[in-house]
A and B are shown apart, each in its own frame.
Chain A
Amino acid sequence: MAGVRQIAITGVTAGLCLPLALFAIILVPIPGLPAASGFWIPAGFYFVMTLWFGVWGALGGHIATVLAMGYFSGYTLQVWADGGLGDLIAPLVALAIFKAMGARPTLERKKDKVAWIVAVPIASLVCGLWVHTVNLLFGVITWPFWWIGVVTYLVGDSLAVFIVGTPLLKALTNYVKQSPMYIWRD
Chain B
Amino acid sequence: MRTFFLHVEEKSPLLRAHPALKILALLVVNLLAWILEAPIFLLALLTALLISYRAFGIPLSRMARFLVFAGLIAQAVMVSYLLGSKIPGRVTYLVLPWGSYVTDMTLLYSLTMILRFVSMLVGSTLILAVMRDVDIVYGLKSFGLPYSLSFAFSLAFRLSSLFLEDFKMVKDAMLLRGAKLDKGGILERARNYSRMGVPLTVIAVRRMNELSYVLEAKGFASSRKRSYLYEFKWNSLGICAALFLVGLVALALLLRLSTDLVTFPGWPLV
What residues make up the interface of A, taking CB atoms closer than 8 Å to B?
A: 1-16, 18-19, 23-24, 27-28, 32-35, 38-39, 41, 44-45, 48-49, 53, 59-60, 63-64, 67, 71-78, 138-145, 160, 163-164, 167-168, 171-172, 175-176, 179-181
Contact = CB atoms under 8 A, between A and B. Distances in A.
A10 B157 CA distance: 12
Q: Quick one: which of B83, B159, B191 has the most chain A CB within 10 A?
A: B159
Contacts of B193: 23, 27, 41
A143 B27 CA distance: 27
Contact of A16 (B190, B204, B222): B204
Interface of B is mostly: helix
B51 to A, nearest CB: 19
A63 B41 CA distance: 32
Nearest to B164: A19
9 nearest interchain CB pairs? A15-B159, A11-B155, A77-B30, A14-B156, A144-B84, A139-B113, A76-B120, A4-B215, A18-B160
Interface of B: 5, 26-27, 30-31, 33-34, 66, 69, 72-73, 75-77, 79-81, 83-85, 98, 100, 109, 112-113, 116-117, 120-121, 124-125, 128, 146, 148-149, 151-153, 155-160, 162-164, 167, 186-187, 189-191, 193-195, 197-198, 200-202, 204-205, 207-209, 211-212, 215-216, 220-223
Nearest to B195: A167
Nearest to B223: A1
Contacts of B75: 32
Contacts of A16: 159, 163, 200-201, 204
A139 B116 contact: yes
Nearest to B167: A19
Nearest to B78: A32
Main secondary structure of the interface of A (DSSP, over half): helix
Nearest to A12: B208
A15 B117 contact: no
A48 B200 CA distance: 13
Contacts of B116: 138-139
B148 A6 contact: yes
Contacts of A140: 73, 76-77, 80, 113, 117
From B27, B193, B221, name the one whose CB has the most chain A CB atoms within 10 angstroms: B193
A78 to B, nearest CB: 6
